[in-house]
Amino acid sequence: MSDVVVIGGGLAGITAALDLADAGRTVTLLEARPRLGGATFSVERDGMWVDNGQHVFLRCCTAYRGLLERLGATADTELQQRLAIPVLRPGGRISWLRRTGLPAPLHLGASIAHFGPLPPADRLRLLPAIVALRRLSLDDASLDEQTFGEWLQQHGQRRSSFEALWDLIALPTINLDSARASLALAAMVFKVGLLEDAGASDVGYATVPLQRVHGDAAERALATAGVDVQVKARVQSLDDVDAKTIVLAVPHDEAADLLPEGAVTQDLRALGVSPIVNLHVVYDRPVMQHAFAAAVDSPVQWVFDRTASSGVGEGQYLAISLSGADGFEDKTVDELRDTFLPALAELFPAARTAEIVSFFVTREPRATFRGVPGTAHHRPNPVTNVPGLFLAGAWTNTGWPATMEGAVRSGHAAAEAAR
């Protein structure tokens, strides 16, 4: 019989395996794919490295940043000294969400007062909503009974302000827009990420392919910790795993297939899924001057310059991330191209005369659980009803949306329970 087996080599499994090895346990990690990293990975295509998705983190993501330190990968990321997000509109117009040195929530006051995408009347309506949002208790279970959009409307926010401001944050963090997202998850994101600590919202991102930041670095760290890592090792049944302790750290739909009857009381399949679609465009010349930018009044949500990290030697490689992408996941490549290339040309005037060297699409149809009202009821704690069996994954009851931070926190929680 083995001591500990961790099933799943994503961020949750990596974290749990390292924690348990640090506690003196003998750990084996089994990963079905030929590499570690889980939902954050890279592939080589046409001579360049392509990330499967554009994953960012915030300064408040302390558990994830701690994992980066443990993996020796902090130097492969960039963290803003002070929040600064360029927000683009068609015609090349640009506004900024920047923080000042004032304490929260005053740190965003100057940006909001001059935020072009919001009419002056909507800017005035923000203050009462922000005050009310700060007063919400994250321990209030009733927050998970309505959408963030419903709450915003109850507090004087017009639908026009959703896309112009609120969805800029809700979409990439919850993987749903404000109209569909649970108030509980949105309140957590805005309170912890924006409204309680001025520096919490500073944005970080990988400056090299994600495979190097997570998968390759984790392989080295796990080996140093004495963890036996086995890739291409898919587990078909927990009955085949003979171990004192098992940490199941796979996506929730896979966990539902593997868990013995009665192991949890929650219906994991009821968590649902929310897709992400990524568009990859290589131009023959630079068209965007920012490392990343958000967009409003456009089908484009967020766009990232991945030229340097991909190894593209000439031109510019832009990656467009579409979260909560229910309306885009079934579109053909040609349909997406016809929609988004003109939209990018509206945001970046230089793109109008640039040549498209390459355009392709990557899809994550089951990227995250679906953070709608009622979600909290279906998220289990790490301890199951089966002795020695524990759960990890961003879909477990971390209080966070399905983010890298949530995944790492779940790994710590599972390892702590297993100890």
The DSSP string of 239-292 is GG--EEEEEE-S-HHHHHHHSPTTS-SS-GGGG--EEEEEEEEEESS----SSE
Distance CA 230, CA 36 (A): 10
Residue 46 confidence (pLDDT):
85
Please enumerate in sequence order all residues whose Cβ is within 8 A of that of 383, keeping only pairs 6 or more positions apart, or say none.
Answer: 390, 391, 417
Burial class of 276 by CB neighbour count within 10 A (0 to 12, 13 to 18, 19+): buried
Residue 69 confidence (pLDDT):
98
Owner of token pair 């340097």: 308
Q: Is 163 helix (H, G, I), strand (E, B) or coil?
A: helix
CA nearest neighbour of 358 among 76, 78, 106, 45:
45
The edge-to-edge listing of strands for the beta sheet with 203-206 is 56-58, 203-206, 77-79
Residue 80 confidence (pLDDT):
98
Select the CATH number that applies to the domain covering 107-197 from these four: 1.10.405, 3.40.50, 1.10.10, 1.25.40: 1.10.405
Residue 123 confidence (pLDDT):
95
Residue 1 confidence (pLDDT):
78
Give the residues of the chain that fall short of pLDDT 70. none
Backbone angles phi, psi at 291, to 5 degrees: -70, -35
Residue 141 confidence (pLDDT):
97
Residue 313 confidence (pLDDT):
87
Distance CA 407, CA 63 (A): 9
Residue 398 confidence (pLDDT):
98
Please enumerate in sequence order all residues whose Cβ is within 8 A of that of 295, keeping only pairs 6 or more positions apart, or say none.
Answer: 87, 88, 89, 301, 302, 303, 347
In the chain, residues under CATH classification 3.90.660.10 are 274-368
For 332-362, b/e burial (b = at least 16 CB within 10 A) is eeeebbeebeebbbbbbeebeebeebebebb
Cα torsion at 64, 66, 67, 73 (round to 10°)? 100
Q: Which residues pair with 281 in a beta bridge?
A: 318, 359
Residue 205 confidence (pLDDT):
97
In the chain, residues under CATH classification 1.10.405 are 107-197
Distance CA 275, CA 369 (A): 9
In contact, 378 and 345? CB cutoff 8 Å: no
CATH fold, domain 274-368, is Polyamine Oxidase; Chain A, domain 2 (3.90.660)
Looking at domain 2-39+210-271+371-418, its CATH architecture is 3-Layer(bba) Sandwich (3.50)
In contact, 7 and 247? CB cutoff 8 Å: yes
Residue 39 confidence (pLDDT):
92
In contact, 264 and 379? CB cutoff 8 Å: no
In the chain, residues under CATH classification 3.50.50.60 are 2-39+210-271+371-418
Rounded to two decimals, the pTM is: 0.97
